[in-house]
Structure 1
């Protein structure tokens, strides 16, 4: 009898994991990339995709970030339909762009516009690494430059959240030109007395880190964000030295004077509100 009982348990335990997984609705759970604990996806969304156990900051989509920061109904998007072409006739480039449009619901890897954060008006650009890895192409550079120009004309502060793997190789030198275009727009904005706040999220690399991401009056980052130009392996091969384990993390950049502050995502909105209010009132915060 006991033999039959344990035999049944063994038979039950041998059910393929694929069959067991089929009983769980797809997309219901999410595993932390760092500590590997599993949570309900809805729970993670409430936490702004920050792991409750280890604090790891998982990526946010552009719209999830916008919704977490801006007041309801106080938001206006700019250049929504601006999208990439294929100026160099790069093979399969247009098909990849269309695939990313369907996957993300975006026309390009950045959302720009203006809105209010606890009543404080600001222009903004929020990059989304799920669209072509946030790579900097002609359309993205144009959208960011236009947003900065609009901020200057409307005398608004400008906040940018960066997330990028670098320049978009399918557009060649036209992609690299966006570094100059956006930097010039920021210079005009700064000369006109504009306030720019840059928040670097994971990852901010390549041409983006070497241009507009690092040109803020305030340069912030989220915890653990990878920030740098070339990759670790390339640098180690070039200088023939082993780099520190925390090299190119937000914390490393802060320690070496490249950032003003590393900010937890849950504290981001309140800090931005304080800065916007402070600069609006000439340094006085209520």
Structure 2
């Protein structure tokens, strides 16, 4: 009985008190969604949000990705002031957009601009899945199209990092029109001799995967990224067949010739810098 008593005591002593819970600052720890290991958030941030245990690539915000790639002090943002309206008077849409503005510090789900990677100047667009799940509304499409047009005017290469749940349903057909607008801008850019590098991150789906994300001169992805148009369940119900376990992953697309390379986040800056150098004035500077 004495042994049972002390066993119970140890068991209950292991339960954190309410005071000890209060002593742990909110947001100090982060759990990997893949292997469920828990790390200090600062440790994960230093590792570019890649799990040190299982190598799972967790999402980065637009600004985290920009800071991880671009040479310090070289970044110039474009069209920050553009914001969404509510063209279809969709209920509560403006309130939801405002809530995301407060949460992320962004006006929309993409940041565009120009900066240097390894000393090479490039224009870029970086989507942020924490703003309306990176959904593509009219402002997202407009900012990307403008960035491509500026890249053309300034004779700069263009890099885009995609992260999106697809078209923004609250804007209806106006959202779907962005697929054509961005694709036409890329076509003109390509015809003028411009270089476009597309990097698909988790997730890149719907109208984004079916338009500008998939038509770069180089199409890359991060490990484990979900990439596809329709959802897995819809496809299985349509074709009445079970799909492979790795279906719609970056590795599956690479194996079937739909990607040029799957690039680890730690190697991304080096790879982009090398490619930009290769294409600078035909590589005459190498």
On whether the aligned pair clears a TM of 0.5, the verdict is yes
Contact 1:274 1:285 in 2 (8 A): no
Secondary structure at the counterpart of residue 22 of structure 1? helix
Counterpart CA distance in 1 for 2:91 and 2:26 is: 34
Q: Give yes or no for the alignment of 1:73 onto 2:78.
A: no
Once the two structures are superposed, residues 23-54 of structure 1 have per-residue CA deviations (whole angstroms, 9 ceiling, x without a partner) of 32111111101001111100100100000110
Residue number in structure 2 paired with 1:206: 206
Secondary structure at the counterpart of residue 242 of structure 1? coil
Counterpart CA distance in 2 for 1:248 and 1:108 is: 27
Residue number in structure 2 paired with 1:88: 88
Residue number in structure 2 paired with 1:217: 217
CA 163–9 in structure 1, closer or farther in 2 if over 3 Å, else same: same
Superposition pairs for residues 130-209 of structure 1, below 5 Å?
130-209=130-209
CA 37–188 in structure 1, closer or farther in 2 if over 3 Å, else same: same
Counterpart CA distance in 2 for 1:232 and 1:2 is: 57
Superposition pairs for residues 122-133 of structure 1, below 5 Å?
122-133=122-133
Residue number in structure 1 paired with 2:110: 110
Residue number in structure 2 paired with 1:34: 34
What TM-score does the superposition give when structure 2 sets the normalisation length?
0.96
| Runs of 4+ off more than 2 Å | 1-16, 18-23, 283-286
- Report the aligned-residue RMSD: 1.7
Comparing 22-31 with 192-201, greater Cα deviation is found at 22-31
Counterpart CA distance in 2 for 1:82 and 1:248 is: 33
Once the two structures are superposed, residues 141-179 of structure 1 have per-residue CA deviations (whole angstroms, 9 ceiling, x without a partner) of 000000000000000000000000000000000000000
Counterpart CA distance in 1 for 2:43 and 2:16 is: 29
CA 240–285 in structure 1, closer or farther in 2 if over 3 Å, else same: farther
Q: Structure 1 residue 13: deviation in Å?
A: 3.9
Secondary structure at the counterpart of residue 172 of structure 1? helix
Task: Give the total of aligned pairs.
Answer: 285
Counterpart CA distance in 2 for 1:280 and 1:114 is: 16
CA 59–271 in structure 1, closer or farther in 2 if over 3 Å, else same: same
What TM-score does the superposition give when structure 1 sets the normalisation length?
0.96
CA 15–41 in structure 1, closer or farther in 2 if over 3 Å, else same: closer
